[in-house]
Structure 1
Amino acid sequence: MTIKAVLFDLDGTLLDRDSSLLSFVSKQYERIPELQAVEKNRFIERFIELDCHGYVWKDIVYQQLIEQFSLQHIDWRLLLEDYLCNFQQHCIGYPNMLRMLKELKNNQIKLALVSNGYGQFQYDNFKALNIDHLFDEILISEWEGLRKPDPAIFLRALHKLDVSAEEAVFVGDHPVNDVRASRDVGMRAVWKRNGQSDQTVDADATIEDLKELITIVLPQADPI
């Protein structure tokens, strides 16, 4: 069946969250003198460890950092507010993201974002990539009242796009929340592998570079 729509996860799929976080934490450390009681590389490494690829929210991360490093005269709430206000300035998309999306759009493929996370925060990060004008629908878990891997959020996205599951592809980096969950509702799933060479995922296709998606969705297209 012809593919009419491609749905994307955000973090780890379109947004290079690891590079973005590294950029943000480095600048936050330089901006806030109280953090500099700790050696910079040590602070950054511990932040990234506690963050656990985004699965630990930053209120917990900052409280743990303050306690573990015995930081003085700094409130975790101020650090969290700084994160919420400034992270989007450091958002970095993966290589070939824009070219790939434009190619799909130029071929009348409908595009949607389906992301877990806090609504405004995720939306601001998405907009910072300067690709929002290419998307037909944006679904973020807080705003939808649903979270992946709940099949309802995928079905809602398909309904908004007016396509069937068989006519859609989902692209994501999480083996359960993205790949298995989208396949369970009848979509084809593409796993974006980010250096997880030792992991096997039951996807319809696996990519490491977003440009590879072109020949999956548009088999007759010239590779970019």
Structure 2
Amino acid sequence: MITTVVFDLDGTLLDRDTSLVHFVQDQYDRLALHGGLVVGRDEYVRRFVELDRRGYVWKDQVYRQLTKEFALPVGWEALLRDYISGFQQHCVGFPHLHEMLTYLRSKGIKLGLISNGYGDFQYSNIRGLGIEPYFDIIAISEWEGLRKPDPRIFLHTLHRLESKAEESIYVGDHPDNDVTASRRVGMKGIWKRDPYYDQDFAKDGEITDLLEIIDYLKN
């Protein structure tokens, strides 16, 4: 019987690709009003996304490079501050996010979230999605002093939830950091499909729509 579901954030609950494009488009428009960039918005967004490497490059490096390439009228430090303070306003969840979490809570399922990243930034994005109240435990790597795929961040979260690994599901989009890592500690690793990754890895199930997680509560 499943008593606990723990989620990843970026690429699982937060549609980070869409959110990032929305933010960068807005930032470009605000920059252009103040400085008149010579690079077009589409090119600016494309290059930002390319340098970002799906969130695995922190934005100080991204903005340093963009400033160098495009002679931006605003310094990279100001751009980074704008990103940190403003990204949450553009956060977009995947379809049925709130419906799925509401259903799980109604069934008495304990809910946790484990995310790699900077504490204040990731927590502001969770608030931006409006999902903070659903969770019993939120573990962010900077605050925990541990990063996925380190098994200790999963085990510490389960301990705080007072949950057994064999009665718990972990849902994430990254084959190694999420699915494989959670399975190593005895959880059921469910993959939130992402075409960026090769599908050939061990998993206990996979979903495309967040509501599909409900099917795994019956197993």
> TM-score, with normalisation over the residues of structure 2?
0.96
**Counterpart in the other structure of 2:106:** 106
1:124 is matched by which residue type in structure 2?
A: S
Unmatched segments (≥5 aa) in structure 1: 220-224
Distance 2:62 2:169 in 1: 34
1:80 is matched by which residue type in structure 2?
A: L
**Counterpart in the other structure of 1:6:** 5
Distance 1:191 1:72 in 2: 39
After superposition, the Cα gap between the structure-2 partners of 1:127 and 1:188, relative to the gap in structure 1 and judged at 3 Å, is same
Distance 1:76 1:141 in 2: 25
1:92 is aligned to 2:55: no
After superposition, the Cα gap between the structure-2 partners of 1:35 and 1:95, relative to the gap in structure 1 and judged at 3 Å, is farther
**Counterpart in the other structure of 1:222:** none
1:59 is aligned to 2:83: no
SS at match of 1:111: strand
Distance 1:24 1:35 in 2: 18
Distance 1:197 1:85 in 2: 30
Distance 2:52 2:142 in 1: 20
**Counterpart in the other structure of 2:18:** 19
Distance 2:36 2:110 in 1: 45
Deviations 1:7-43 (A, max 9, x none): 0000000000000000000000001133722111110
1:44 is aligned to 2:45: yes
> TM-score, with normalisation over the residues of structure 1?
0.94
CA RMSD of aligned residues (A): 1.3
**Counterpart in the other structure of 2:149:** 149
Pairwise CA distance, 1:198: 4.8
SS at match of 2:210: coil
1:216 is aligned to 2:216: yes
Distance 1:58 1:96 in 2: 29
SS at match of 1:203: coil
Pairwise CA distance, 1:194: 2.3
